[in-house]
Amino acid sequence: METQAAYAELGLHPGATDAQLKASWRRLVAAWHPDRNAAADAGSRMQSINKAYQHIRQLRDGGEPDADDNEAAEAAPAPEAASAEPEAPHKTHVRTVHLSLEDAILGCTRTLHGHVTHTCSACVGKGQRVLAKACATCHGSGAVHKPALFGWMWNQEECADCGGDGRLRGPCDVCAGSGEQTVAYRRRVRFPSGVREGHVLSVPAANHGDMELGLELQVHIDSHPFFTLDGEGVLRCEMPVNGYAWMAGRWVEVPTPDGLQQMRLNRDALVYRLGGQGFPAAPRGPRGDYMVRVVPVFPTQMDAAQEALLDQLIASSSKAAEADKTQAMGQWKRSMKRWNTSQKRPARDE
Ligand SMILES: [Zn+2]
Ligand SMILES: [Zn+2]
């Protein structure tokens, strides 16, 4: 059998570890064993899976395939595969991932670390393993005799130390008798742009230690110092601006998810729409609009120099307004002057 084909048969790349090799083989054997798989080609698939596994084992061990593995492969399902846990232990680990609003908008890659505790696969959580020796309590018979009826008779009872099978037990060396194993995982995960609070992302299972570990990630978006996402998914920001700069239509710097940006103020507008710079309407979708509301701020107290500047501004703008016949300010001034003159007529006798 071709080596490349053997790896392909097991769904692995040649760099796979021994543990991955074994886990993959067990999983496939459990899935394709003709006792459990009714597919017409289950038997032949089983054969190719075992052949591929033996081929790689032989290659890696540099000689004869491991007798134990060989036997198990022929007699598959393997002992582990036949038990209640047919595959390498498989677990989905649920955890929360905190993203900033910018990360949620633009998408991001995170490396997640953690630990997961699972039932020891070597002893199936019992904390002990059966040894090749006979049980010391019952000397392998599986039964113990206990005096009954004041010692006149003997009752035979099942040996409690071996559970009646007569075999010696010792603490499991894989889990040191605890029945549990802890594996550390480290996964690089890509979060698409547009993920929202409460979204759940499933990360396919991968091998960690001797375990197939999948991740279920619940997205939590951290609150932001100035960006908010409203109920309709529109990104908003409210920022104070210098009232005079606003009147003068000056440029100001506004924060956007992509960084600072220049924006021109307009004294007729308090709300500005920055198209395509907001939150994506759907994951991986185009970005919506970003709405910036400006709050013009005027000083509450002014010094003498500022007062003088304002006086100048008022004087020059009044002059210009009065000169312009079409302006409301000029019209108002003229009609007020006419009215005032009419009030000064001498009093008439009745
Ligand atoms: Zn015993
Ligand atoms: Zn164990």
pLDDT exceeds 60 at position 252? yes
Number of domain units in the chain: 5
Regarding pTM above 0.75, the answer is no
We report the CATH number of the domain holding residue 105 as 2.60.260.20
211/94 same-domain check: yes
Non-local CB neighbours of 226 within 8 Å, separated by 6+ positions: 237, 238, 239, 255
Instruction: Report the separation in Å between the CA atom of 194 and the middle of ligand 2, taken as the mean of its atom positions.
Output: 43
pLDDT confidence band for 309 (50 / 70 / 90): very high
Per-residue pLDDT of 15-70, as tens digits, reads 888 888 888 888 777 777 766 666 677 777 788 888 888 888 888 876 544 444 44
Beta strands at 235-242 and 290-297: parallel, antiparallel or unpaired: parallel
Note whether 284 and 323 are same-domain residues: no
pLDDT confidence bin for 80, thresholds 50/70/90: very low
Whole-number Cα distances in Å, 208 to 183, 185, 232: 7, 6, 41
Q: Is the pLDDT of residue 301 over 50?
A: yes
The pLDDT tens digits of the residues spanning 258-277 come to: 999 999 999 999 999 999 99
Q: 195-204, 236-245, 307-316, 341-350: which has the minimum mean pLDDT? A: 341-350
Pair 247, 278 in one domain:
yes
180 CA to middle of ligand 2, Å? 6
CA–centroid distance, 159 to ligand 1, in Å, is 5
Asked, for residue 195, whether it belongs to a domain, the answer is yes
18 and 139 in a single domain? The answer is no
Q: What residues make up the domain containing 321?
A: 304-342
318 alpha carbon to ligand 2 midpoint, in Å?
92
**In-domain check, residue 248:** yes
122 within some domain: no
E strand or H helix at 246: helix 243-248
188 pLDDT exceeds 70? yes
The answer to whether residue 59 is domain-embedded is yes
Res. 227: pLDDT tops 90? yes
